[in-house]
């Protein structure tokens, strides 16, 4: 009787061990079948090229150190990679395989900077400089039917000059500088000009102030989504 009990106990232990090994093999197979994103994705080679240092003195970067970032391309594929913005020559940089590379602005939809609790979204857009089209990067302040953008440009040795633009939705649209005149700013909203003027008056908003201007565009974009 004791021998029979020992045999049954041995069989039970064997079956339990076999089941445990099978489960571990299954878990390992599942992990192997779902590859993780790699920073050295081959797509990076099509989105960026080698970056060269500037010879100019003074401040060059909006954020001197690389921070956590996310690149989103036109196929809506996202790539996690360290980023920084060299605003001195309007170059968006990534750190890839221990090399500094410059992103092609025409090949990506947006770049997200995650610096602690602070998140900034940049988009590339065309704009005119002396009637010549240029591609540049703009911080997205308000997104919608008419987006509000902020440009960062070098001012003096260590200064940063900002300028606000607006960008209408649709193809082949140019980022256009926002006028300092209240009437011209409101004219951007077309047939909703009168309603937007009432909103500005109701809340005593100063359209020369970027935060107040953002409130106006946010209101418009939330109410008249495309």
The model carries a pTM of: 0.79
pLDDT value of residue 226: 59
Task: Specify if 121 maps to a domain.
Answer: yes
Q: How many domains does the chain contain in total?
A: 1
pLDDT value of residue 57: 84
Please state, as a whole number, how many other Cβ atoms lie within 10 Å of the Cβ of residue 113: 20
pLDDT single digits (tens) 185-211: 999 999 999 999 999 999 999 999 999
Task: Specify if 198 maps to a domain.
Answer: no
Q: What is the mean pLDDT of residues 44-69?
A: 92
Task: Specify if 149 maps to a domain.
Answer: yes
pLDDT value of residue 23: 42
Q: What is the mean pLDDT of residues 199-224?
A: 96
pLDDT single digits (tens) 74-131: 999 999 999 999 999 999 999 999 999 999 999 999 999 998 889 999 999 999 988 8
pLDDT value of residue 122: 98
Residue whose C-alpha is closest to residue 169's, from 144, 136, 133: 144
Considering the chain, what percentage of its residues have pLDDT values greater than 90? Answer: 69
The mean of the pLDDT values for the chain is 84
Please state, as a whole number, how many other Cβ atoms lie within 10 Å of the Cβ of residue 169: 12
Task: Specify if 107 maps to a domain.
Answer: yes
Considering the chain, what percentage of its residues have pLDDT values greater than 70? Answer: 81
- Give me the long-range contacts of 72-77 (CB less than 8 A, separation at least 24): 72/108, 72/109, 72/110, 72/111, 72/112, 73/43, 73/47, 73/107, 73/108, 73/109, 74/107, 74/108, 74/109, 76/109, 77/43
CA distance 50 to 94: 10
Q: Find out whether 217 and 141 touch, Cβ atoms under 8 Å.
A: yes
Task: Specify if 187 maps to a domain.
Answer: no
Query: Residue 192 corresponds to which tokens in the numbers above?
Result: 């909703």
Q: Which domain holds residue 119?
A: 44-178
Which of the four pLDDT bands, split at 50, 70 and 90, describes residue 224?
Answer: confident
């Amino acid at each position: 009787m004791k021998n029979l009990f020992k045999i049954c106990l041995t069989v039970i232990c064997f079956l339990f061990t076999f089941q445990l090994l099978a489960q571990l093999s299954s878990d390992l197979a599942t992990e192997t079948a779902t590859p993780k994103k790699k920073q050295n994705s081959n797509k990076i080679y099509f989105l960026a090229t080698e970056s060269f240092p500037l010879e100019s003195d003074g401040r060059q970067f909006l954020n001197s150190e690389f921070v956590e970032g996310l690149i989103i391309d036109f196929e809506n594929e996202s790539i996690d990679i360290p980023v920084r913005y060299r605003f001195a020559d309007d170059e968006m940089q990534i750190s890839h395989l221990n090399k500094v590379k410059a992103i092609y602005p025409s090949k990506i939809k947006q770049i997200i900077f995650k610096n602690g609790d602070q998140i900034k979204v940049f988009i590339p857009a065309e704009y005119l400089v002396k009637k010549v089209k240029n591609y540049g990067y703009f911080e997205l302040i308000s997104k919608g039917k008419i987006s509000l953008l902020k440009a960062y440009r070098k001012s003096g040795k260590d200064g940063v000059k900002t300028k606000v633009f607006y960008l209408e939705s649709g193809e082949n649209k140019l980022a256009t500088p926002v006028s300092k005149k209240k009437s011209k700013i409101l004219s951007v909203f077309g047939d909703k000009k009168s309603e937007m003027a009432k909103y500005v008056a109701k809340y005593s908003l100063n359209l020369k102030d970027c935060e107040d201007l953002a409130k106006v565009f946010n209101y418009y974009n939330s109410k008249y989504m495309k």
